[in-house]
Amino acid sequence: MQIKVETRPVRTMETEALVSYVFEEENPIRGRATELDQAAGGALRKLAASGELTGKALEMTLVHYPSAAAAQRILLVGAGKREKYNLADLRKIAGAALRYLKGRKVSGFVFLAREDDANAAAAQVITEALLVANFESDKYKTDKKNDEDVDAVGLAGFDASAAEAGIARGRIIAEAQNFTRELVNEPSNRMTPRMLAERAAAMARESGLACEILDEKRIEELKMGALLSVAQGSGEPPRMIVITYTPPQARPGAPVIGLVGKAVTFDTGGISIKPAEGMEKMKYDMAGGATMLGVMRALAQLKPAVKVIAVVPATENMPGGRAQKPGDVQISMAGKSIEVINTDAEGRLILADGIAYAKQLGATHLMDAATLTGAIVVALANVNVGVFGSDAAFTERLLASARAAGEKMWPMPLDDDYREMIKSSIADIQNVGSGKGGGAITAAMFLKEFADQTPWIHLDIAGTAWLDEAKPWAAKGASGVAVRTLVDVVMNWSSDQK
Ligand code: BES
Ligand code: ZN
Ligand code: ZN
């Protein structure tokens, strides 16, 4: 999809649709929206006066063949209350407008920003929203209902150079998020650990990033016993994907960010097998890994001044004849022994070795993303990402980035008291919590043991990486959650360093 700055006067724009937004109780319509009202021959004011147009969040008012405009349609999207309005609302407005028009076979339109949004940050948000909204999950449908993507959008109401900057940055970030979504949407027979590694290597090659794929032999040599224990139940061999971004001005002793992502390309649960109902969804258990690959793709283009290493352990979790069994003890790369009480708690096992390896490669600050627990869905539903951090300042940075990126994330506790729950009677640690409750927290506590003294943040995206139903602004399927936030953390880090 093309996105360009549009500078023609509103009334003369020949386009399939002219889109803008109005606030609740904005009656009569004010400011820049009055241009649209004039273009509609006063129809919008009348609709507002009659109560049909209220400005309630994401209300859609479509006027066909406006009498005083060259445009074929005017679409006015409700923006909700002005006092509560922010860029997260603008993101939804732009995305929902695109999907609404796309459903009406519109292939191009102009989006007119309001006065207060005539800046680079808003242009970036709109661009991201449009590209994310245009993405569909119907790759394997031969009869593509949503085939007709929108192919051109003009952004109006901006100072051209500010808009250009926002569009360029927004495109990089949205394309990275969609890259992640593409990987996550693939079924497990088309996204085995080896295939994921190939896709990662191809992305790295195209992006100019260094990439190393460790095969099962190297994984064994490096004594990654926790990753191997999960992989041993499958006929598909595991891979450890390592992608490195090195800034042009790398300084010795500078911090190195390690991004570790869980990539279980299918999670049957192993011998602790999952129920059949809903098991097909466990193809998205590689979303954490795909998130980190998307982040690296964006960073390659945004070129931060900080070194970043992505480490993505990839495996299936299968109940094959050689599968590990409940009660088995495994020795992780870090040397810690783990009693595997439940083979379905496999994510933390592979992340244990991923974290250890990222540290060995020099990471001084760690962030991981994983579809780790059903318990995070109990705690936060499908709304917020669960955020666990060992370092208050680092965690606060991440939460600030989440707000800036328009992604809902919520801090969770990591008190030492929870450590008791993952004590094993025969090994250093066990892979599930004893007693009741706190499943997302005990999982995070397990990871913390491996991060140890290195500042670390864990994102549990089990509830947010997949949309069971479409949103007005996004197709159902993979959401690509956390890509934007993590890119923002790294970019802010970079500008603070300079
Ligand atoms: N991949 C699952 C977590 C998950 C659940 C992701 C629902 C997405 C949606 C993970 O490997 C798992 O099975 N966790 C277990 C842990 C338990 C055995 C301690 C869980 O959450 O039930
Ligand atoms: Zn599992
Ligand atoms: Zn899993």
**How much distance in Å is there from the Cα of 483 to the middle of ligand 2?**
23
* pLDDT value, residue 25: 85
Q: For atom 16 of ligand 1, which residue has the closest CA?
A: 345
* pLDDT value, residue 491: 97
User: Of 262, 324, 344, 442, which is best to mutate to test ligand 1, by the most ligand atoms within 8 angstroms of its C-beta?
Assistant: 344
Contact in structure between 151 and 108 (CB atoms under 8 Å): yes
* pLDDT value, residue 147: 58
**Structure token pair of residue 296:** 């690296």
How, if at all, do strands 239-245 and 307-317 pair? antiparallel
* pLDDT value, residue 498: 59
Residues 6+ apart with CB under 8 A from 233: 270, 271, 316, 317, 318, 319, 320, 322, 323, 324, 343
Q: Averaged over 410-421, what is the pLDDT?
A: 97
Q: What average pLDDT does the chain have?
A: 96
How, if at all, do strands 210-214 and 239-245 pair? antiparallel
Q: Which of 56, 274, 408, 471 is catalytic?
A: 274
Task: For residue 66, give the DSSP letter.
Answer: -
Please, which pLDDT band fits residue 148 given cuts at 50, 70 and 90? confident
Please report where in the chains the tokens 């008291």 appear, as a residue: 417
Nearest of 130, 124, 53, 120 to residue 97 by alpha carbon: 130
**Structure token pair of residue 112:** 């007119």
Q: Looking at the predicted structure, is the pLDDT value of residue 73 above 80?
A: yes
| Residues present in the chain in total | 498
Q: Which stretch of 134-148, 184-198, 361-375 has the lowest confidence by average pLDDT?
A: 134-148
**How much distance in Å is there from the Cα of 313 to the middle of ligand 2?**
14
Please, which pLDDT band fits residue 287 given cuts at 50, 70 and 90? very high
Q: Looking at the predicted structure, is the pLDDT value of residue 408 above 90?
A: yes
Pocket of ligand 1 (CB under 6 A): 267, 285, 342, 344-347, 371-375, 432, 439, 462
Pairwise CA distance, residues 489 & 65, whole Å: 45
* pLDDT value, residue 232: 98
Q: Which stretch of 221-230, 247-256, 397-406 has the lowest confidence by average pLDDT?
A: 247-256
For the chain, percent of residues with pLDDT exceeding 70 = 99
**Structure token pair of residue 491:** 């970019």
- Point out the ligand nearest to the CA of residue 341: 1
Q: Which of 32, 114, 348, 397 is catalytic?
A: 348
Nearest of 488, 447, 463 to residue 87 by alpha carbon: 488
Contact in structure between 342 and 274 (CB atoms under 8 Å): no
SS (H, E, C) 420-476: HHHCCCCCCEECCCCCCCCHHHHHHHHHHHHHCCCCEEEEECCCCCEECCCECCECC
**How much distance in Å is there from the Cα of 268 to the middle of ligand 2?**
7
Q: For atom 13 of ligand 1, which residue has the closest CA?
A: 344
Nearest of 186, 263, 268 to residue 478 by alpha carbon: 186
Q: Averaged over 464-481, what is the pLDDT?
A: 98
* pLDDT value, residue 112: 97
User: Of 273, 280, 373, which is best to mutate to test ligand 1, by the most ligand atoms within 8 angstroms of its C-beta?
Assistant: 373
> 28: cis peptide before it, omega within 30°?
yes
User: Is 84 part of the annotated catalytic residue set?
Assistant: no
* pLDDT value, residue 26: 84
Instruction: Enter the pTM of the model.
Output: 0.98
How, if at all, do strands 263-267 and 337-340 pair? unpaired
Phi-psi region of 362 (alpha: psi -120 to 50; beta: other; left: phi over 0): left
Task: For residue 148, give the DSSP letter.
Answer: -
Interior/surface letters 45-71, b for 16+ CB within 10 angstroms, e for the rest = bebbeeeebbbebbbebebeebeebeb
Residues 6+ apart with CB under 8 A from 340: 229, 324, 325, 326, 327, 328, 329, 330, 349, 430, 431
- Point out the ligand nearest to the CA of residue 279: 1
Contact in structure between 211 and 201 (CB atoms under 8 Å): yes
Please, which pLDDT band fits residue 29 given cuts at 50, 70 and 90? confident
**Nearest-10 Cα torsion for 8, 14, 15, 20:** 50
Contact in structure between 472 and 95 (CB atoms under 8 Å): yes
For the chain, percent of residues with pLDDT exceeding 90 = 94
**How much distance in Å is there from the Cα of 307 to the middle of ligand 2?**
32
User: Is 476 part of the annotated catalytic residue set?
Assistant: no
Give me Rg for the CA atoms of the chain. Answer: 24
**How much distance in Å is there from the Cα of 370 to the middle of ligand 3?**
8
Task: For residue 237, give the DSSP letter.
Answer: P
Pairwise CA distance, residues 184 & 483, whole Å: 13
Enumerate domains of the chain plus CATH numbers: 2-144+152-173 (3.40.220.10), 191-497 (3.40.630.10)
Please, which pLDDT band fits residue 146 given cuts at 50, 70 and 90? low
pLDDT in tens, 378-403: 999 999 999 999 999 999 999 999 99
